[in-house]
Amino acid sequence: MTFPADSPHVTEVRPSPNHDEREADVDILLLHYTGMVSAEEAVARLCDAESKVSCHYLVHEDGRIVQMVPESARAWHAGLSSWEGEPDVNSRSIGIEIQNPGHEHGYRDFPDAQIDAVIRLGLDICERHAIARNRVLAHSDVAPKRKEDPGEKFPWDRLYAAKLGHWQKPAPLTTEGNDSFFEGDTGEPVEEIQSLFSIYGYGIEINGTFDAQTKAVTTAFQRHFRQEKVDGTVDPSTVATLRRLLKALPKV
């Protein structure tokens, strides 16, 4: 059955059967890339009952917006994920898939018309649901060990300039200082950076060991906030950028 679009920016409604009831109020806007060769292929999969996946919206490269699940329903887009200690991201989020072939099929820049449409839709959603700017997130933020979308080419700075999302200018890359940590390192400095990631919202065990999970979180953070170099190493630029973001968090 079809349903009325929730946003005036929607071009087309293509209902997906893949949804159920929410168990929490919406307080996250989650951005993905489709990771498929074409938008048509992505829409078909998101609307296929056998796929068991869906999202609320898909934004084409030319800016057209398709809605597939009502915002009142829990779409199946985040998978195994968490943010600020909450594991059921699907229940508390609205998901936007952004057409891009992704890292497996020729990852490319996002066209201006597409980003303009994401901004219009995102601002509308955040206003209606009172979503805080620091809760406009990447799929890789909430599932860092599994996902890398929308990736390091996504222009979070443009969204921030339009008052969508939380962002700060990344600290410059530098070889100065000794604040670099690598997989296998241990000690209080590692525990401190894990704590900072956790305070920001990332799901990470604070154990003082730079393990695979810490590297995954660091990589996800860099894809979103320090895109110039995405290598999973906690270097001075990563630490300084994270501290800038924490300092600029909205006051509750």
Active site (annotated) includes residue 97: yes
- The answer to whether 227 touches 241, Cβ cutoff 8 Å, is no
Q: From residue 156, how far is each of 136, 137, 166, 203 by CA, in Å?
A: 10, 10, 8, 21
Following CA atoms 9, 109, 44, 65 in sequence, which dihedral angle do they give, to the nearest 10 degrees?
A: 0
CA distance 249 to 125: 20
Measured N-to-C along each axis, helices 188-200 and 236-247 cross at an angle, to the nearest 10 degrees, of 40
Find out whether 19 and 88 touch, Cβ atoms under 8 Å: no
Amino acid at 169: K
Length of the chain: 252
Per the residue annotation, which of 12, 21, 84, 97 is the catalytic one?
A: 97
Angstrom distances, CA of residue 206 to CA of 81, 147, 150: 17, 21, 26
CA distance 59 to 57: 7
Query: What are the catalytic residues?
Result: 97
